[in-house]
Amino acid sequence: KMPHNFWCYSDCVTYLPTEMRDKLRKWREDNSRNSEQIVDVGEELINEHSSKLGDDIWIIYEQVMIAALDCSRDDLAHTCLQELRRQFPDSHRVKRLTGMRLEALERKTQQPKNPPAARKRKISILKALGKSAEAIRELNEYLEQFVGDQEAWHELSELYINEHDYGKAAFCLEELMMTNPHNHLYCEQYAEVKYTQGGLENLELSRKYFAQALRLNNRNMRALFGFYMSASHIAASPKVSAKVKKDNMKYAAWAATQINKAYRLAGRGTKENKCSVKAVEEMLESMQITMS
Amino acid sequence: MPIQLTSQAYCKMLLHAAKYPHCAVNGLMVAEKSKDKKKDGHGEPVLCVDCVPLFHGTLSLSPMLEVALTLIDTWCKENKYVMAGYYQANERTKDTRPNQFAEKVAARISEHHSEAAIVMVDNSRLTTSCYEPIIHIYDHSENKWKIREVTQECFEDWSEAQKITSALLEGRSYENLIDFDNHLDDLRNDWTNPVINKSVLDLC
């Protein structure tokens, strides 16, 4: 075990607890700010010889705590503070020390300026802890600075969807569609959000964006199904004019043909998929009934 | 109306959760249509013989869920099944309560079929051995979802279920599990999971 007074280890002198205690007192009286030495001596004194210190222990806890903050030894500062709080629960002096520790901690988290990767990690942690509201707030702040970060916009849209805040999710997806007009996935996801929001206007919007997604990628099955479902619902709505109903029935019929085609193509040669094909045909037939 | 799970239903649920450990997953549970026309006797358990894994990731959007429910409904009629419940594993492993979305889906199922149950998979206890059941079952009574104590009675044969699930998890069969999302990505993916069903049968 290394002697505690490593700063003069060449002497290889070990101090007695009484000597350590006297050193600490001297440093207190001189108001020396040799925090590292104080931490070194004080920590050993507290851990190994606390029983020998009598009532001095409390002032030593205070002295060591302050020095520990200086050396970024929050663990030690916390231990000392806990002992003091236990012994002097209502002490104003102890409250002041608590404040000192919090200030030191705050200074640490504020500098250096958090680089983007660290901020994103923080957001992931908030998410993992279930603190969705905070994660959302942080992500919004982050996006004010890094407005072009698509991954972040997408992440935010997902957070909003999980919180059932579809309006704000739509806003994020609108940002993404603006900057990525050829991305069929964003169109399709936006359409899904609008559909979920419900109401005739949103259904019509969703149908338009499902259609757009299909234009960008005619093999996007979600877009095809979505187009079919939204058109079907519009056609079945009692609030629409005869013309709108007729148009949407046409759209739905077209989509149904495409869906059937896609399933037949996929099911070619496989026995198992026959049930899927049949199920789809029946589903489409039953929806036709509800529409007319 | 209490539900009971077969080995096939239980293990496919867990395989789904294991395939997407970083996501929320959900699915439907189906039971055989009872030939008895009258309402099931009090306390008579409903045996969930199978489940259909639905989605992973963002669960809370309607259109694809509607497609899945309609399609699976048709499939159920073909096979003389009824939808008996809904399962969900949340993204955050410490969160095992059914959320608003789970309640909505279960209510939807209950509209057309008798009282549905919600099964929540406890991700935090998902391991390859699974010596204990890692699900929570919620029944709907008096307009509330109440948790029911999960015992071996909730399974048709717990020791068989445990052995099969453990074997398939260890053998990484979850890599072959197909959910409805996979099906929408490629229609050739069969959400009835014949391959996994066969593996289960082989292990019985």
Residues of A within 8 A of B64 (CB-CB) are: 192, 222, 225-226
Helices within B80-203 (DSSP H only)? 100-112, 158-170, 180-185, 194-203
Average pLDDT over residues B160-188: 91
- Chain B residue with Cα closest to A161: B60
Q: Nearest to residue B59, comparing CAs of B21, B121, B6, B102?
A: B102
Q: What is the mean pLDDT of chain B?
A: 86
Could you tell me if B62 lies within 8 Å of chain A, comparing CB atoms? yes
Q: What is the ipTM of this complex?
A: 0.90
Comparison of pLDDT for B200 and A204, the residue scoring more: A204
The CA distance from B151 to A273, in Å, is 37
* Chain position carrying tokens 């289960």: B200
The CA distance from A89 to A66, in Å, is 18
What pLDDT shows up at residue A275? 58
Judged against a pLDDT cut of 90, whether residue B101 lies above it is answered with: no
Tell me if residue A22 falls in helix, strand or coil. Answer: helix
pTM of the model: 0.72
What pLDDT shows up at residue A198? 92
Residue B116 contacts residue B106 (beta carbons within 8 Å):
yes
Comparison of pLDDT for A84 and B142, the residue scoring more: A84
Judge residue A236's burial from the number of C-beta atoms within 10 Å of its C-beta, 0-12 exposed, 13-18 middle, 19 or more buried: middle
Nearest beta carbon to residue A272 from set B67, B186, B194: B194
Quick one: pLDDT band at residue B30, thresholds 50, 70, 90? very high
What pLDDT shows up at residue A246? 93
What pLDDT shows up at residue A12? 42
End-to-end CA distance of chain A: give it in Å, rounded.
89
Pick from B26, B50, B69, B74 the residue to mutate for testing the A interface (most A CBs within 10 Å): B74
Digitized pLDDT (tens) for each residue of chain A, 292 residues in all: 444 444 443 344 567 888 888 889 888 888 777 888 899 899 988 988 888 888 889 999 999 999 998 888 888 999 999 999 999 988 888 888 888 888 887 766 665 556 677 888 888 888 877 788 999 999 999 998 888 888 899 999 999 998 899 999 999 999 999 999 999 999 999 999 999 999 999 999 999 999 999 999 999 999 999 999 999 999 999 999 999 999 999 999 999 999 988 988 887 655 555 556 676 777 777 666 655 5
Residues of B within 8 A of A226 (CB-CB) are: 63-64
Helix%, strand%, coil% for chain A, nearest 5: 80, 0, 20
Percent of chain B having pLDDT more than 70?
A: 94
Judged against a pLDDT cut of 90, whether residue B172 lies above it is answered with: no
The CA distance from A197 to A200, in Å, is 10
What pLDDT shows up at residue B68? 93
Comparison of pLDDT for B36 and A163, the residue scoring more: A163
Nearest Cα of chain A lies from the Cα of B114 at a distance, in angstroms, of: 21
Determine, for residues A225 and B184 on separate chains, whether the beta-carbon distance falls below 8 Å. Answer: yes
Determine, for residues A262 and B187 on separate chains, whether the beta-carbon distance falls below 8 Å. Answer: yes
